[in-house]
Amino acid sequence: MNEPTGNETIKHIMERYSCRDFADTPLTDKQIKILTDAALASPSALNHQPWHVIVVTDKALLTELDTEAMAILAEAADKSGYERMLARGGRIFYNAPCMFLIASDASKYAVVDCGILSENICIAAQSLGLGNLIYAMAAIPLNSSRGEEFKKRLKIPEGYGFGMAILVGTARSTKAPHELDETKVTYVN
């Protein structure tokens, strides 16, 4: 890891890791407000804001989405995803008490803009001491035979689809962030 700069934002970026082990502890209303404000503060191309943020704390719904996704993975021809999830506890949402579902309008720059918004949520969560995970696999139940039902229950607006999800909660365990790979950088002077 690089030398510490003394800057809290940089510290949180450098310490962030993908959490896959959440405690049952629910987020507070204040934590959720801070994270939604951080999301909405995200820049977007032409200030289009091609997103709709859906905060899911309904544990029963999260469990139902989890069960549907695991059933789909179990039936897949390639069992590697299912086996990987079983090895990690058999829960696709890792028991996270909160999911920020980012619905996207699929406009020209929406993928990039929703990525920026996702990172804002993660860095804000890290700064609050919360574990977090940017999580595309949350789309699995939305693409299932029950997908339309789930989209209605999640209140995804008409004309929007899955953009990204971020799982957030108190981490039950921690791990080191990934090592920086300097070979992924080219300097042009």
Rounded to an integer, what distance in angstroms lies between the CA atom of residue 172 and that of residue 95? 10
* Whole-number pLDDT of residue 58: 98
Averaged pLDDT score across all residues of the chain: 95
The low-confidence residues of the chain, meaning pLDDT below 50, are 1
pLDDT attached to residue 6: 76
Residue 163 lies in a domain: yes
Per the structure, the count of domains in the chain is 1
Per-residue pLDDT reduced to its tens digit, 133-184: 999 999 999 999 999 999 999 999 999 999 999 999 999 988 889 999 999 9
What is the pTM (predicted TM-score) of this model? 0.93
Q: Is residue 182 part of a domain?
A: no
User: What is residue 1's predicted lDDT score, i.e. its pLDDT?
Assistant: 47
What's the confidence (pLDDT) of residue 10? Answer: 92
Model pLDDT, residue 179: 93
- In a domain? residue 69: yes
- pLDDT at residue number 4: 56
**Domain region containing 130:** 15-177
In the chain, what percentage of residues exceed pLDDT 70?
Answer: 97
Is 1 contained in some domain? no
pLDDT of residue 5: 66
The answer to whether residue 61 is domain-embedded is: yes
Whether 8 maps to a domain, the answer reads: no
| CATH code, domain with 35 | 3.40.109.10
Ordered DSSP codes for the chain: -PPP-S-HHHHHHHH--B---B-SPPPPHHHHHHHHHHHHT---GGG---EEEEEE--HHHHHHHHHHHHHHHHHSS-THHHHHHHHTTS-TTTT-SEEEEEEE---TTHHHHHHHHHHHHHHHHHHTT-EEEE-GGGGTGGGSTTHHHHHHHTTPPTT-EEEEEEEEE-BSS--PPPPP-GGG-----
Does some domain include residue 101?
A: yes
The residue type at 28? T
Evaluate whether residue 4 is within a structural domain. no
